[in-house]
Every structure is written in structure tokens, then in C-alpha cells.
């Protein structure tokens, strides 16, 4: 079997930290309608230069990039990191989970393309960028948990 090119195991923790920070930024921006720094976190007196800078267009682009790039890089670091014990069975489970995630993501995207229009579809596509790695991580972790649980019961 060909050797998979995977990131070292410690990248999983780095990816989790990056993903968590980017997810918080993304969720805060989503709740405010993707208008940059969430307006509900700004004080009522927005006359100060600091808060005016946070609400500027440049900060909006920066926060968008932090959220998008952070979610993508964090999810790839988590999904593509080695396991502590990486063997052929783990590789097979990894491939199967990736294919399942790809099938589910494609089906959801097709359904959304038929059902959503205008800005709603754009919002869906923003979050759809990370669904394949996210689904992969969930499916892979669930299947590895089942395998490990079965192995524990056999001993």
C-alpha cells in the first residue's frame, strides 16, 4: 500500500486551536450578518478611533479572511494529521470516511443549489467550504471510536 502523506500528530492540537478561534470569529460575524466586527460587541459610544477602526471596511475584510482561512487551515490540520498509531486499517478507515464525507457534501450542495436562492445560497456556500473536512473528521472519529470500543471488548 502506498504511504499517505500526512501531517505529524501534534498538528492536530494546532489545528484545533486555529479552528476554534476562527469558528468563534465566524459565528460572531454570522450573527451580525457578515458586517465585519459584530456591532453588538461595540459600545454605544463609537466615537473613539479604536472602535471606528474595528467597524471599518479593512477590518471587515481582515475578519472575513481570518474566519475563512482559519476554518480551512484548522480543519485540514485536524483532518490530515497522523494518528498516534497509524496502520493500514487506520488508512482504510480514513479513506472510507473521506469518501462518505465527499458523497454527503455533494448531495447537500446539490439540494441547496435547487432549494436556495440569492444571498441565502451565498451564505450556505460560505459554510459549505468547511463541511467536507468537518464531515470527514466527524465520520472518521466516530468510526475509530467504534473500532477501538470493539477492540476493548474483545480483550
pLDDT digits (tens, 9 = 90+) for 70-81: 999 999 999 989
The burial of 64, by beta-carbon neighbours within 10 Å (0-12 exposed, 13-18 middle, 19 or more buried), is given as: middle
Contacts of 57 (CB under 8 A, 6+ apart): 36
Closest CA to 16 of 103, 126, 133, 99: 133
pLDDT of residue 123: 80
- 117-140: b or e for each residue (b if 16 or more CB lie within 10 Å)? eeeeeeebebeeebbbbbbbbebb
Q: Count the domains in the chain.
A: 2
Domain final position from 82, 105, 137: 82
71 found inside a domain: yes
92 found inside a domain: yes
The burial of 30, by beta-carbon neighbours within 10 Å (0-12 exposed, 13-18 middle, 19 or more buried), is given as: middle
112 found inside a domain: yes
**pLDDT value at 53 more than 70:** no
The answer on 70 and 97 residing in a single domain is: no
Domain final position from 64, 82, 100: 82
Tell me which of 145 and 31 has the higher pLDDT.
Answer: 145
The answer on 133 and 90 residing in a single domain is: yes
Range of the domain at 90: 86-155
The answer on 21 and 36 residing in a single domain is: yes
The answer on 109 and 152 residing in a single domain is: yes
Domain final position from 82, 105, 132: 82
pLDDT of residue 96: 92
The answer on 90 and 78 residing in a single domain is: no
The answer on 99 and 71 residing in a single domain is: no
Place of cell 471488548: 153
Give me the mean pLDDT over the 111-122 stretch: 86
Residue 13: band (very low, low, confident or very high) from pLDDT cuts 50, 70, 90: very high
Average pLDDT score, the chain: 82
2 found inside a domain: no
**pLDDT value at 52 more than 70:** no
The answer on 72 and 11 residing in a single domain is: yes
25 found inside a domain: yes
The answer on 99 and 59 residing in a single domain is: no
Tell me which of 21 and 32 has the higher pLDDT.
Answer: 21
Query: What pTM was estimated for this model as a whole?
Result: 0.73
Would you give the distance in Å from CA 131 to the centre of its chain?
7
**pLDDT value at 148 more than 70:** yes
103 found inside a domain: yes
Amino acid at each position: 500500500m502506498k504511504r499517505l502523506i500526512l501531517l505529524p500528530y501534534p498538528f492536530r492540537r494546532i489545528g484545533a486551536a486555529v479552528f476554534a478561534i476562527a469558528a468563534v470569529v465566524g459565528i460572531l460575524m454570522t450573527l451580525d450578518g457578515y458586517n465585519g466586527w459584530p456591532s453588538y460587541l461595540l459600545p454605544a459610544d463609537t466615537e473613539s478611533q479604536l472602535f471606528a477602526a474595528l467597524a471599518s471596511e479593512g477590518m471587515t475584510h481582515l475578519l472575513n479572511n481570518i474566519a475563512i482561512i482559519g476554518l480551512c487551515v484548522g480543519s485540514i490540520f485536524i483532518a490530515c494529521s497522523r494518528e498516534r498509531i497509524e496502520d493500514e486499517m487506520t488508512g482504510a478507515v480514513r479513506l472510507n470516511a473521506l469518501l462518505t464525507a465527499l458523497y454527503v457534501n455533494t448531495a447537500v450542495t446539490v439540494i441547496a443549489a435547487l432549494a436556495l436562492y440569492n444571498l441565502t445560497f451565498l451564505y450556505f456556500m460560505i459554510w459549505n467550504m468547511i463541511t467536507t473536512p468537518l464531515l470527514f473528521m466527524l465520520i472518521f472519529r466516530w468510526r475509530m471510536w467504534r473500532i477501538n470500543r470493539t477492540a476493548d471488548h474483545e480483550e
